Amino acid sequence: MRVRYSIVIALAALLALAGGATANTGFVAHLDGLQEVPPNTSPATGTGFFILDNTGTLMTWSVTYMNRTARCSCARSRREDAVYNE
């Protein structure tokens, strides 16, 4: 839990510093069962922090979660114009 909060604090500080010095863009995602399609009653929660650099070509991210009741079944990150070999 201590590591989770230190990551959150470090990313929040990075977002604050990046916002004034460059055109980097920060995003935050709140994760819970209500965000799923269809919504569910999972007790799992999480938070994702994402920073897109000013060129739009590099994204740095960190996702933390807790209270999962099952194994992760799928996680993906993709660009609309990218080609994937699935």
Which pLDDT score is estimated for 49? 93
pTM comes to 0.56
Which pLDDT score is estimated for 70? 80
- 2-45 tens-digit pLDDT: 555 556 566 666 666 554 556 799 999 998 999 888 899 999 99
Measured CA to CA, the distance from residue 80 to residue 40 in angstroms comes to: 27
Which pLDDT score is estimated for 32? 93
Which pLDDT score is estimated for 23? 78
Q: How confident is the model at residue 86 (pLDDT cuts 50, 70, 90)?
A: very low
- 44-82 tens-digit pLDDT: 999 999 999 998 888 898 989 899 888 766 666 666 655
Q: b/e for 25-61, b at 16 or more Cβ within 10 A? A: ebeeeebbeeeeeeeeebebebbebbbbeeeeeeeee
